[in-house]
Structure 1
């Protein structure tokens, strides 16, 4: 019988898929809420789709943007989900030149970042280039065009497009074209096998990170991705992203991560003192860094939609349901999960947001 390398790689991928649910079914990271179990399987499907788009079907000599996070597609909610933003990804060849063009739409911040890939399917550990909207020449209609590359070590480009209100705002229009002749078309046995193995590696890394802990233990040594030590119902100290990073963080942003554990009659009152910045938001995640049910609940708030207090601070009330507070966020009845603050283009690391657990009946209902 003829043995094909792609056959072997396909069966290896199936074996990988068959074991990844152990990450959320057994051990100290096991989830118990039935919705989180279901979320785990949805995350398997989502991550497989993204892996195929970026490895199996991608061709850096014939570049195409791939949607990886959007406020509208339920199959693209993963890996640090953001309900105020659109993210696109495009694998590239570090020796090639590309032209990127488009229109800014209603974006309040947009950029393109180039990341490395330590090995096929491995997540980035270095930012190699960044092009931001305030570095571009835009015409009166918001159109832009620039070239990038050759860019040593670049394996993938990622766009960011943050909207004040993604329900009404026009996303950035992105185009990309290679300025060099494409490679001869081929996706044979060896190429397919390599792509399938890269896809499996991508997924193993994702499920080494999720499900996120809800309140880190002091003896928990995991440090991949968006995990920083904190107790439940509080935030970790904010931190600045540098060129050496894990995954696809933004160089010009700061992050602070937290978690919530709420009973039916409890609420988390969060006090945030926004620094001067281009954009900030707070997003509610399940334990897989995703925000389900976006169309049915308010699960994020940003500097454009938040109603401030008289002193400029922002009070946010998080509960399993919806409260009367103008900055009310809901967990969509999830009893526990994770929280993510991010700030773009801030002069210094922000002050850590405060969180206070109260009875839902005692939570504020108006701004202060």
Structure 2
């Protein structure tokens, strides 16, 4: 059907994009190998579509509002580096405008606001343009704070972070934002809607160019494929500090280390690391879509406040497909394969690479040392 409306053409392009994105996890080298990940793939499509619409189609930088984009309490907001110990909000902004950000810190052990650029509509950020964390601002005795931001050249979106020692019992940061300049005249145009729909499609294409995450071959299988692999399963890559030039929305204050797991039902990973002095650290279990399903039914993360350390200050975590008796036991919720993410915030030094030992479940430790 022919049309003269640009938004109609953009809508149909978006539908075509949605119809093809599942090929990222059904076909090719990155195809997932179990039906649970196929089901998770379609849920991830729905999740990212919702985030894309909230961010591009319904947002108005002259009438700002915070959009909840990651939450341990919402199954429809588990994506892009899920974190069961934190809450994230996003707000698209106009780089020429001034904003006032205020709220209350609640029980947060770390909170911040980061401004990111957007090279083109829907393109992922490649640079941090501003960063304000809790110790950069005045917080009164009741936990209240307020500060102004902008104009901020190149800023396209703000991202808040709120890390909690106990995200279920702790009081979240209360975030508020207001524009200090008069809003634009209200009018939703055909051209504006078309841009927003195309930006949503571009954003999702980039997401599914990355997802699902690769899971390396097990060391005992590494040579059966006839080539060497860059990252084996059941180990971590070297930790790194996030730079200002950055793809996506990583946190400037963070060090990360990523790994993957491939486990049989009778196996466990014994993961040990020595946390450097830092404000916050945690280890999170992901599926191959950087999300943690089943949070209410499983312990899928451990952090510096909940972990029971060994006598020498190191921390050992036992990961298996079921829960074990170890005080730092994590479960994959019977997922046979997936990914792992360490985060350290405001670390005094780059953390050492975590060590991993694959053992039989019956031989896994049940107590700290």
TM-score above 0.5, yes or no? yes
Contact residue 274 and residue 314 of structure 2 kept, 8 A? yes
**Deviation per residue, 1:277-301 (Å, 9 max, x gap):** 0000000000000000000000000
Secondary structure of residue in 1 paired with 2:235:
coil
CA separation of 1:216 and 1:62: change in aligned 2, threshold 3 A: farther
Alpha-carbon shift at residue 32 of structure 1 (Å): 1.6
Residue 216 of structure 1: how far off its partner (Å): 7.3
Contact 1:216 1:229 in 2 (8 A): no
Return the offset for 1:213: 0.4
For the aligned residues, what is the CA RMSD?
1.1
- Structure 2 residue 60 is matched with structure 1 residue 39: no
Shift of 1:187: 1.2
Query: Number of residues paired by the alignment?
Result: 358
The alignment partner of 1:282 has SS state of strand
State how 1:2-151 maps to structure 2 within 5 Å: 2-151=3-152
Q: Any unmatched runs of 5+ in structure 1?
A: 218-227
State the Cα distance separating 1:241 from its structure 2 match: 0.4
For residue 207 of structure 1, what is the aligned residue in structure 2? Answer: 208
Q: Which residue does the alignment assign to 2:342?
A: 341
In the alignment, the residues of structure 2 paired with residue 152 and residue 132 of structure 1 have an alpha-carbon distance, to the nearest angstrom, of: 19
- Could you say if the C-alpha distance between residues 130 and 229 of structure 1 is closer, same or farther in structure 2, counting changes exceeding 3 Å? farther
1: distance between equivalents of 2:9 and 2:318? 52
Q: Tell me the CA shift for residue 184 of structure 1.
A: 0.7
The alpha-carbon distance between structure 1 residues 2 and 288, as it changes in their structure 2 partners (threshold 3 A), is closer
Say if 1:239 and 1:255, in contact at 8 Å, map to a contact too. yes
Rounded Cα–Cα distance in structure 2 between residues aligned with 1:254 and 1:66 = 25
Deviation at 1:230, TM superposition (A): 2.3
What CA deviation, in whole Å up to 9, does each residue of 1:225-255 have, x standing for no partner? Answer: xxx9521000000000010000000011100
Go from structure 1 to structure 2 and tell me whether the alpha carbon gap of 1:229 and 1:102 turns closer, same or farther (over 3 Å shift). Answer: farther
1:272 aligns with 2:289: no
Equivalents in 2 of 1:169, 1:335: separation in Å? 32
Aligned to 2:101, what secondary structure does the other structure show? strand
Deviation at 1:261, TM superposition (A): 0.2
Structure-1 separation of matches of 2:33 and 2:109:
39
Which residue of the partner structure matches residue 231 of structure 1?
A: 232
CA contact (8 A) 2:3 2:9 kept: no
List gaps (5 residues or longer) in structure 2: 219-228
In the alignment, the residues of structure 2 paired with residue 80 and residue 2 of structure 1 have an alpha-carbon distance, to the nearest angstrom, of: 39
- Structure 1 distance, partners of 2:175, 2:109, is 15
Query: What residue in structure 1 maps to residue 324 of structure 2?
Result: 323
Matched residue SS, 1:12: helix
* Counterpart in the other structure of 1:250: 251
Measured in 2, the distance between the counterparts of 1:2 and 1:52 equals: 23
Q: Does 208-217 or 348-357 show the bigger shift?
A: 208-217
Measured after TM superposition, the shift of residue 2 of structure 1 is: 4.9
When the two structures are superposed, what TM-score results if normalisation uses the length of structure 1?
Answer: 0.96
